Structure 1
């Protein structure tokens, strides 16, 4: 386990080296939040509520969504670059678990974003966008757990696309499609309560709402206390199911390994 902690540490240090990316990430998050709030303000047309949703609740939803996106950001081309360069063959010869290696690398980046980008962005959002506090301390703890599970669901979903680089020379199109699906169906871009009911009923049977929608609803106190554990259990099931599918794909990819490039 120590070697994977070192991988995470190295990833963290790599991010610290590029300090301008850190500042750019914070500024980009704040700008995107501001733009989206302005768009929704125009939609609300000076009304304080729309379809029963208060504007201040929506603002908090938007802020949390974009801040979580900052933390959830991962290296989408880490595996593809290794496959294309041929470095994947040497990685597989090392006495390490490659899946844990990729995971620890991304965790290191996530920890950096938590400490160096999320913290200042939250402070700015509290004063600039009037970010509401969590519904209660208990809900904040549930939210933290749910947010971690949301990250795991997204990571394992991403891995399914990343490992496709063993079959596709370029994965840009697949990643773009996946990102679009996540943004729309997870509630990252538009809260699911504004989507048609028939569509949200379908989304409930997919892993998408487990990524952003469930954690944020818990934060806002919109999920009844007795239903929270069911929502968290749903996230656990999706994380495990996607992991299992990823494991099957990984084994197939390892057998198929054809090094492309030098």
Structure 2
């Protein structure tokens, strides 16, 4: 059975290859975004060598890594699930001998692998040639970051799945999906590192899963997180991954009891 799920990864990866030109243009767009943030933060730092625990070099690397990591963990699983619910195709998929939600996760991972190999890695190489990005030289840091990046994908995908499932209850969750996307980009630390948030808001963010998507992995990668705290930071990602399984399970259980087909 697991082989069937692996096929969903392979099929989505091959499907994405058909549209790879679109992602080549995406590399340019992300490079422009990184450049804009680089010059913005450079102006904010001015003559100062450190702000909120960030040095100029760390901030440059943080911006580049955060945006390129987004290229890997980003997906539209929420929109795919909402579309399946609206057109009624979810009813057919639920009768098949596999887990609908696990299939969606595998499809998202296939897309993520494509983005990693043909978007994130080439984009990071280009960005490193243009901007003064400082990459870690310790292989262990790279290994830890890659594992944390995987959990970034899992947590972001869980939030997307949970958002998509709300289409069972509200029928049109377009506004919710847009709000979710803004919240993830803002509160995960892609737009502004959480260290720059007001104290009270930064404390609130510690109790939300968004920091586990971008801020925590990028802080480890840039060396802002001391080696003695890495295990705790990674453990926090694992905790959020497990915690998010609970609302997904309850929402899916409730959704299956009230499914009605609107079209199809």
Q: TM-score, normalised by structure 1?
A: 0.95
The whole-number CA distance in structure 2 between the counterparts of 1:101 and 1:215 is 26
The CA deviation string for residues 90-139 of structure 1, in whole angstroms up to 9 with x for no partner, is 10111111111101111110010011111210111111112211262222
Residues of 2 paired with 1:181 and 1:86: CA distance? 29
CA distance in 1, matches of 2:75, 2:19: 16
Task: Name the CA distance, whole Å, in 2 between partners of 1:104 and 1:210.
Answer: 20
**1:51, CA displacement in angstroms?**
4.5
**1:134 counterpart SS class:** coil
Aligned match of 1:217: 219
Deviations 1:126-184 (A, max 9, x none): 11112211262222221111111122111112211010011122222111111121122
Segments of structure 1 that go 5 or more residues without pairing to the other structure are none
Of residues 225, 228, 244, the one that matches 2:246 is: 244
Report if the CA contact (8 A) 2:54-2:224 is conserved: no
Cα separation, 1, equivalents of 2:97 and 2:160 = 24
Q: CA deviation at 1:48?
A: 4.2
Across the aligned residues of Structure 1 and Structure 2, the Cα RMSD in angstroms comes to 1.5
Residue 170 of structure 1: aligned partner: 172
In structure 2, relative to structure 1, the CA distance for the partners of 1:19 and 1:152 (3 Å cut) is closer
Aligned position for 2:131:
129
8 A contact 1:25–1:70 mirrored in 2: no
Matches within 5 A, 1:1-262: 1-45=2-46, 47-75=48-76, 76-134=78-136, 136-262=138-264
- How many residue pairs align between the two structures? 262
Structure 2 segments unaligned to the other structure (5+ residues): none
Indicate how the Cα distance of structure 1 residues 51 and 100 shifts in structure 2: closer, same or farther if over 3 A, else same. closer
